[in-house]
Amino acid sequence: MCISGFSWAGSCERCYENIDDDKQFCTECELNTSSKLADMKSRETQIANAVASARDNYKSSLEELIQYYLDIGSHLRLKRARKELKALKKVPRRKYLKVKEMVSEVSPSKNIEDANMLFQDGKAYKNPLIIIKKKAKLISAVARFKKILDDYPESDKADDAAYEIADIYEGFYFKDYEGAADYYVMCYEINEKTDKPARFKAAWVYDNQLGDYAEAAKHYKMALETCKETQYLGIAETRLEQLRKEGY
């Protein structure tokens, strides 16, 4: 169209101001729309991260409750809390944001001095020179390892901390085999390249303590694919073959 020597191809979709043919909005509307979209995206990020935080807080509270019942020896309440945590883990965790927008996406690869000190303290409590009040010291060790997981998930000690907790739970003073299996699994989930034999240990607990042979077979298979410690490979291979013959 041409009027009085001026030409244009269209109009703004919001205010109908005349604009060039390569535009959708006039300059003013474009600025307003961009600002509103940015505000909406920021609000979406805040809400989605609040949902993720609430999930994590719920899970952390259940884990704390489980530890409390474990410490005081309340087996019935411990069983109930574990059942609730298992149900929570089965609920799909939707990712409403793209990976690059997720604030909780961390890599456990940082050398953090506070986490290192907590780990050293935890090891000292776990392996004391004097074994008086051994269980109390193990509880203190677990508290320090859990603090690494809670406060420093990006630390390169995070997978080691999960492994140490699992080892304590599996031991004589706790015999908490479900907890041990959960933390062995957490170890390799935190760091899939962990140098700890977490997959084999998880398989062993599922197999020999929990009687969950399907999970045992799955973890023995993973152990054969990833385990670096040769003393476990023969055991894993032999037992996996037996379980497969039994239909697992």
Residue 58 lies in a domain: yes
Amino acid 4: pLDDT: 46
Number of separate domains in the chain: 1
The more confident residue out of 32 and 91 is 91
Q: Which residues have C-beta within 8 Å of that of residue 203, sequence separation ≥ 6?
A: 215, 216, 217, 218, 219, 220, 222, 223, 236, 239
pLDDT tens for 184-226 read 999 999 999 999 999 999 999 999 999 999 999 999 999 999 8
The answer on pLDDT for 60 being more than 90 is no
Amino acid 6: pLDDT: 46
Could you give the CA distance from residue 241 to residue 115 in angstroms, rounded to a whole number?
40
Residue 62 lies in a domain: yes
pLDDT tens for 85-113 read 888 877 776 666 553 344 344 467 889 99
Mean pLDDT within 18-42: 64
Residue 9 lies in a domain: no
Amino acid 20: pLDDT: 72
The answer on pLDDT for 115 being more than 70 is yes
Amino acid 186: pLDDT: 92
Q: Are 115 and 148 spatial neighbours (Cβ–Cβ below 8 Å)?
A: yes
Decide: pTM greater than 0.85: no
Share of the chain above pLDDT 70, in %: 79
Cα 80-83-89 angle, rounded to 5 deg: 145
Cα 223-227-231 angle, rounded to 5 deg: 100
What are residue 6's DSSP bridge partners?
Answer: 3
Output the six-digit token pair for 45. 């990020």
Amino acid 59: pLDDT: 83
Residue 163 lies in a domain: no
The more confident residue out of 45 and 206 is 206
Helices 113-126, 134-151: crossing angle, 10 deg rounding: 160
Across 14-23, 26-35, 40-49, 83-92, which has the greatest mean pLDDT? 83-92
Residue 38 lies in a domain: yes
Q: What is the mean pLDDT of the chain?
A: 83
Amino acid 70: pLDDT: 86
What confidence category does residue 1 fall into, taking pLDDT thresholds of 50, 70 and 90?
very low
The answer on pLDDT for 8 being more than 60 is no
Q: Which of 45-59, 97-111, 135-149, 190-204 has the lowest mean pLDDT?
A: 97-111
Could you give the CA distance from residue 25 to residue 28 in angstroms, rounded to a whole number?
8
Residue 37 lies in a domain: yes
The total of other beta-carbon atoms located within 10 Å of residue 135's CB is 14
Residue 63 lies in domain: 23-105
Residue 5 lies in a domain: no
Residue 99 lies in a domain: yes
Please state, in angstroms and as integers, the Cα–Cα distance from residue 80 to each residue in 48, 83, 132, following that order. 29, 5, 32
> What H or E segment, with its residue span, contains residue 7?
strand 6-7
Across 79-88, 129-138, 216-225, which has the greatest mean pLDDT? 216-225
Amino acid 104: pLDDT: 43
Q: Are 177 and 166 spatial neighbours (Cβ–Cβ below 8 Å)?
A: no
